[in-house]
Chain A
Amino acid sequence: MRILVVIGRVLDPSGMVVNRRRGRIFINREEYLINPADRCALEAALRIKDATGGSTGLTTSVEVMALPRSPLPDDDVLRQALAAGADRAGQVANLPPTAGDAVMARVLAAAVRKLGGADLVLIGATTLDTGQGQLGPRLAEALGWPQIVGAWMVEAEDGRVQAVCQSSLPLVGGAGGGIGYATVEVDLPAVVTVLPGALKPRYPDGVRLINVYRAEDAVEKWDVSDLVDEAELQPLLEKRGQDFPPERERGTRLSGGPEEMAQALADTLRQQIGRRPATARER
């Protein structure tokens, strides 16, 4: 069984300061993280591999291969995936830096065909920075495969993949009474997107880490022209600017009795919690 993991990187937000008043972003430390959801997707793939005897060092029929989510200028993320336990990694050279998810879906689908097919594609459900989750479904569409979106756990065997997802059905369950979780199943090949925080990613093995960075050819390279025509590389979306939320006004003091204060606080909290962007869990 061949499992492909699509993995990308995001700028570490802790090295970044957003100045709302001046409308500028200052990047103090340009450091990158593996997109947390993609890391969980990699972990899910490695667990499937382990479940078939991969961790014992014996031969396993599962091959895990890492592919890039976006036009990466370096292969760091792919080497990290190799160090964590992936068997192969592939990089696509000469991708235009503007390539968005629509283009990447085409390129990755072409890569899958070039590899001679795959059984399962695992990918993070969202990116940490932009919060966009379209690459997984877009790739599924480009391949013509079914998809499971937003998995908490993934298991694959006997030509089927099972995942635990938040249920859209009116199921009874969950301690809070509201959210239920269901097991869903689909025949392979399929695309499954994994939620950030779903699994605890493992640390890369030290020796492997040194080896993958020493080996020049640890990451296989394709040229984009071998995969898709140039006409298909036109980006669909175009950046038109940035917007900054207004600066905070601190220290609004409430007056009145406890009842009135509680009412005002309850209203504000409801509004604030209702307005906050949906977290990964709710997506």
Chain B
Amino acid sequence: MDTSYLDLLMAQQEEVTEEATGGGGIWVVADVVDGAVAPVTLEALGAARTLADSLGAYVYGVLLGDGVADASTALTTGLAQALYQAGADGVRVADHPSLALFALEPYLKVLADLFKAEQPEVIIFGATTRGQELAARLAQRMDGGLIEHVTAVTLDEATRTVQATFPIYGGEYFEIVACPEARPQFLTVEPGAFPAPFIDTYRKGEPTMLEVEPVEPAVHVLGPVEGFEPPPVPLAQAPVIVAAGRQAGDFERVLRLAVALGGQVAGDRGARDAGWIGPEQVVDVRGVTVAPQVYVAVGIRGDTFHNAAIEEAKFIAAIHPDPDAPIFQVADLCLEADPAEVLPALLEMLEE
């Protein structure tokens, strides 16, 4: 049976018509990475859609850049439409050569003029470097409250106030904060914290172009710094640690795993005895006590001193051939296997 008429019907119905503007609405300022809308923006649109449906408000997306309005190339066909498909009711596009690379003043000018005219209720940015910079300056300019690194939102419907959750001490616990009176309410949402929204490929719309007055950026980029490496994070504060023990097998693989995960290498006393690591890398209550977000113990049996030193780790994965190894009592994820068998496959998957 030919069902293509259904597609046509759907396409007609889902044509997004933007209501007359003038106040309110939930606005999401898009991040564009490598010619595509960043995942954090889509997640923010999903969150905005949920809030807007409870408030009876519209969701708007804002795109800034050079060539973002160009729908002729395959790469950029989606930019404005991707925002519609992720839940935006209206899209504003500022397309100008002066916006090609992020610079504070030109971006700020466009957004400040736009938001001054539209008076949004909520403005959402991704918690990226530029999102954080823009949100804070706009919030101060417009006397709005800003909550950064938001991981969850609820709504206080009576006062139309967003209650936002953000992590304290990197996620030890969370605080819930609201901006009860000042409008607009600014949020920056943490990448990966909200689910990716349903992409409705039938939704589409016609973006509105914004006038762009070029502004000279104040900060000049002089050029790349050759050979600059930021100072290393001490092991005790490292966010990701891969540690080796006596049963680790090939230490080279442990190093590769650390690189693949973007973490630091450590080990227990056994690794020190084997000469793989230095004394400052021994995880042990008599050595370094660590508190990473992720700790991978490769072939560590886990004596009392070692296990006490990793107590503060948020997530522990352990690989050891002995099912009775004490490390399994403190690990979140236990792999009873020989690291020599698991690591090659694991590296292959992570190094893609």
- Show the binding face of A for B, using Cβ within 8 Å: 13, 16, 18, 20, 25, 100-102, 105, 128-134, 136-138, 140-142, 146-150, 152, 162, 164, 166-169, 171-173, 175, 180-187, 190, 195, 197-200, 236-245, 248-254, 258-259, 261-266, 268-270, 272-279, 281, 283
Please state if B175 and A277 are interface contacts (CB–CB under 8 Å): no
Instruction: From the candidates B129, B182, B329, name the one contacting A250 in the complex (CB within 8 A).
Output: B329
- Nearest-neighbour CB distance to chain A for B232, whole angstroms, equals 9
- Nearest-neighbour CB distance to chain A for B183, whole angstroms, equals 10
Considering the complex of A and B, which 7 residue pairs feature the smallest CB-CB distances, nearest first? A146-B218, A137-B136, A236-B145, A262-B345, A141-B140, A134-B136, A276-B293
Q: Give CA–CA (A131, B193) in the complex, Å.
A: 15
Whether, in the assembled complex, B317 has its beta carbon less than 8 Å from a beta carbon of chain A, the answer is yes
Interface string of B204-243 (1 = CB under 8 A from A): 0000000000000011111111101111010001011000
Residue from the set A25, A148, A197, A236 with the largest chain B CB neighbour count within 10 Å: A236
Q: Chain B residues near A187 (CB, 8 Å)?
A: 218
Instruction: From the candidates A132, A168, A276, name the one contacting B148 in the complex (CB within 8 A).
Output: A132
- Nearest-neighbour CB distance to chain B for A19, whole angstroms, equals 10
Q: Chain B residues near A132 (CB, 8 Å)?
A: 148-149, 166
Whether, in the assembled complex, B177 has its beta carbon less than 8 Å from a beta carbon of chain A, the answer is yes
Which residues of chain B from 290 to 308 have any CB-CB distance to chain A below 8 Å in the complex? 293-294, 296
Report the count of interface residues on B (CB-CB < 8 A).
91
Given A251-B331, A258-B337, A149–B132 Cβ distance below 8 Å? yes
Instruction: From the candidates B151, B152, B332, name the one contacting A248 in the complex (CB within 8 A).
Output: B332
Please state if A268 and B167 are interface contacts (CB–CB under 8 Å): no
Residue from the set B171, B174, B230, B330 with the largest chain A CB neighbour count within 10 Å: B230
Nearest residue (CB) in A for B339 is: A258
Instruction: From the candidates B145, B190, B221, B294, name the one contacting A278 in the complex (CB within 8 A).
Output: B190
Nearest residue (CB) in B for A20 is: B173
- Nearest-neighbour CB distance to chain A for B159, whole angstroms, equals 11
Q: Chain B residues near A162 (CB, 8 Å)?
A: 222
Q: Chain B residues near A150 (CB, 8 Å)?
A: 129
Apart from A18-B172, A266-B349: 8 A-B pairs, beta carbons within 8 A: A132-B149, A197-B233, A254-B335, A262-B345, A266-B346, A273-B240, A277-B190, A283-B129
Please state if A277 and B317 are interface contacts (CB–CB under 8 Å): no
Stretch of B82-90, B97-105, B244-252 at the chain-chain interface = B97-105
- Nearest-neighbour CB distance to chain A for B249, whole angstroms, equals 12
Q: Give CA–CA (A242, B174) in the complex, Å.
A: 6
Q: Give CA–CA (A152, B101) in the complex, Å.
A: 21
Instruction: From the candidates A105, A236, A254, name the one contacting B144 in the complex (CB within 8 A).
Output: A236
Name 25 interchain pairs, CB-CB below 8 A, sorted by A.
A132-B166, A134-B146, A137-B136, A146-B105, A149-B132, A152-B230, A164-B225, A166-B129, A167-B221, A168-B101, A173-B228, A175-B229, A180-B224, A181-B225, A185-B219, A198-B230, A237-B177, A240-B163, A242-B173, A243-B174, A250-B331, A252-B334, A263-B349, A266-B346, A278-B191
Interchain Cβ contacts within 8 Å, total number: 256
Q: Chain A residues near B58 (CB, 8 Å)?
A: none
Q: Chain B residues near A164 (CB, 8 Å)?
A: 225, 228
- Nearest-neighbour CB distance to chain B for A41, whole angstroms, equals 15
Whether, in the assembled complex, B178 has its beta carbon less than 8 Å from a beta carbon of chain A, the answer is yes
Nearest residue (CB) in B for A141 is: B140
Interface string of B313-334 (1 = CB under 8 A from A): 0110101000000001111111
Q: Chain A residues near B170 (CB, 8 Å)?
A: 131, 276-277, 279
Interface string of B96-132 (1 = CB under 8 A from A): 0000011011000000000000000000000101101
Please state if A198 and B192 are interface contacts (CB–CB under 8 Å): no
Q: Give CA–CA (A133, B146) in the complex, Å.
A: 10
Given A173-B226, A269-B296, A283-B132, A141–B177 Cβ distance below 8 Å? no
- Nearest-neighbour CB distance to chain B for A39, whole angstroms, equals 14
Q: Chain B residues near A269 (CB, 8 Å)?
A: 261, 294, 296, 317, 350
Q: Chain A residues near B317 (CB, 8 Å)?
A: 265, 268-269
Q: Chain B residues near A263 (CB, 8 Å)?
A: 345, 349
Q: Chain A residues near B256 (CB, 8 Å)?
A: none
Q: Chain A residues near B16 (CB, 8 Å)?
A: none
- Nearest-neighbour CB distance to chain A for B331, whole angstroms, equals 7
Q: Chain B residues near A149 (CB, 8 Å)?
A: 129, 132-133
Nearest residue (CB) in A for B228 is: A181
Instruction: From the candidates B176, B192, B221, B331, name the one contacting A239 in the complex (CB within 8 A).
Output: B176
